[in-house]
Amino acid sequence: MPKTPERSAIVGWGSVTPIGSNPCSTWEAALSGRSGIQALHDPWCSDLATRIAGRVDETVFASLKPILRRRADRCAQLALLAARQAWDMALERAPGLDPDRVAVVIGTGIGGLSTMHQQHVQLSEGGASRVNPLTVPMLIPDAPAGQVAIDLGLHGGAHAPVSACASGAEAMMLAQMLLNDDRADLVLAGGTEAPVNRLGLVGFSAMRALSSRNDAPEQASRPYSIDRDGFVLSEGAGVLAMMRDRDAPKGATLGWQLASGSSSDGHHIVAPEPQGIQASRAINDALRRADIHPEDLCAVQAHATGTSLGDLAEARAMHRSLRAVADSLPVYAPKGQLGHLLGAAGSVEAILGLQALSEGILPQSINADPLDPGVDLAVTTSGPVKLQEHQSERFMLKNAFGFGGHNISLILAAPCNKPVRTA
């Protein structure tokens, strides 16, 4: 039996998503059922099979200095925007933090894909002299973590987990490990991704992973639906400020991460293990480390991307781990609205999960109806669902899975009857 970790208190958060420029607006859009998926009209995608994606509002970048926008990939820029929100909130709720004891853990699935594509074009069309000398520091996957540490003046360590679509959730797992090992007093943890460019769309489309519903963008992302045809590529970032629960000032806590679980499929670089055996091990690991039972959960936030194999594998994993509870436990699939933010998905969605626990309501899973009969879960297809209380807290299972067979499950908690309306 692993030692039960000290729960990590969430004292700040920040996000930039296709449906909101901060956590508050993102939550309100999620609750309203609004989709962030749109048609792409850029000349560079006119000949592509997939011409839809989830994009953030361009106005959010206005707060970044022009020199920073020139020297940082869009992936790092999004991380900075989300991290600044989380850091500002953390300083308000837990003042007096020592920058030498604040760590950064920002994951990404790919890193600076836009820079990689742009500079390859420059090299091919203009020759070596046209390549930006900052190409490498802009495209490396640890650039977002490094840029956040530089921007905020933090010296407690900068880490960059790269585990595809599980990166943001893995960052939260590593943050809790750093706190429990007393390597930091506060950790800014999360994920970021900016894959909406010609190379990103072509690459995923070539493996037939993307939806091609170009004529109906808002209905294209269909997790768990019988007629799903792939995920929708999206961009964004989510960062949470985490600290040991005993160190969090009274009244500062927005919610908690109780524990995390992990496993590896060891099966295929892209396809999940079809029976969900190893994904189930990650779920079981998280529940065991959190010292709670399936019956204690009030909701599940699913990874559910809208791919034919992945959605069924996750459903099977949940039935393996949650047993009879899986038949009635409300399941929210946020990617119907957000699209797939890849390395940012886990952290962006975790913030939504904590808001749902605090508010006592789970948003609708849009576009999931008609449900695939093979899923057999209580997916919130008909509208938002009121959450049941468990004593004074509510508990949620949050899943994140990535190419390569990376499986991360988190147990999140929030106090009942404590709505959070802060941005």
Residue 415 confidence (pLDDT) above 60: yes
Annotated catalytic residue 75: no
Residue range 79-108: mean pLDDT, rounded: 98
Overall pTM > 0.95 = yes
pLDDT bucket at 4, cuts 50 / 70 / 90? confident
Residue range 210-237: mean pLDDT, rounded: 98
DSSP code of residue 389: P
Residue range 330-345: mean pLDDT, rounded: 98
Q: Which residue has the tokens 């899986």?
A: 326
In 3D, which of 414, 10, 358, 397 has the Cα closest to residue 188? 10
323: left (phi over 0), alpha (psi -120 to 50) or beta: left
| Residue from 117, 159, 303, 406 carrying the catalytic annotation | 303
**Residue 390: predicted pLDDT:** 66
**Residue 392: predicted pLDDT:** 85
Annotated catalytic residue 268: no
Mean pLDDT over each residue of the chain, to the nearest integer: 96
In 3D, which of 286, 121, 281, 276 has the Cα closest to residue 197? 121
| Residue from 117, 159, 319, 340 carrying the catalytic annotation | 340
Crossing angle for the helix pair 113-126 and 74-93, to the nearest 10 degrees: 150
Helix/strand/coil for 139: helix
Annotated catalytic residue 41: no
Q: Are 225 and 62 in contact (CB under 8 A)?
A: no
Q: What is the pLDDT of residues 20-49, one digit of tens each?
A: 999 999 999 999 999 999 999 999 999 999
Residue range 245-262: mean pLDDT, rounded: 97
CB atoms within 10 A of CB 219: 16
**Residue 419: predicted pLDDT:** 61
Distance CA 242, CA 408 (A): 18
In 3D, which of 382, 209, 224, 396 has the Cα closest to residue 316? 224
Residue 391 confidence (pLDDT) above 80: no
Distance CA 227, CA 207 (A): 19
| Residue from 117, 165, 298, 406 carrying the catalytic annotation | 165
Q: Which domains does the chain have, with CATH numbers?
A: 8-413 (3.40.47.10)
The more confidently predicted of residues 421 and 195 is 195
Q: Decide the pairing of beta strands 299-301 and 393-402.
A: parallel
**Residue 416: predicted pLDDT:** 85
Residue 1 confidence (pLDDT) above 90: no
**Residue 5: predicted pLDDT:** 76
Question: Residue 11 has which token pair?
Answer: 């004292």
**Residue 160: predicted pLDDT:** 98
Task: Indicate if the alpha-carbon torsion angle 184, 96, 106, 28 is positive or negative.
Answer: positive
Q: Decide the pairing of beta strands 406-415 and 255-264.
A: antiparallel
pLDDT bucket at 389, cuts 50 / 70 / 90? confident
Q: What is the pLDDT of residues 130-150, one digit of tens each?
A: 999 999 999 999 999 999 999
Q: What is the pLDDT of residues 305-326, one digit of tens each?
A: 999 999 999 999 999 999 999 9
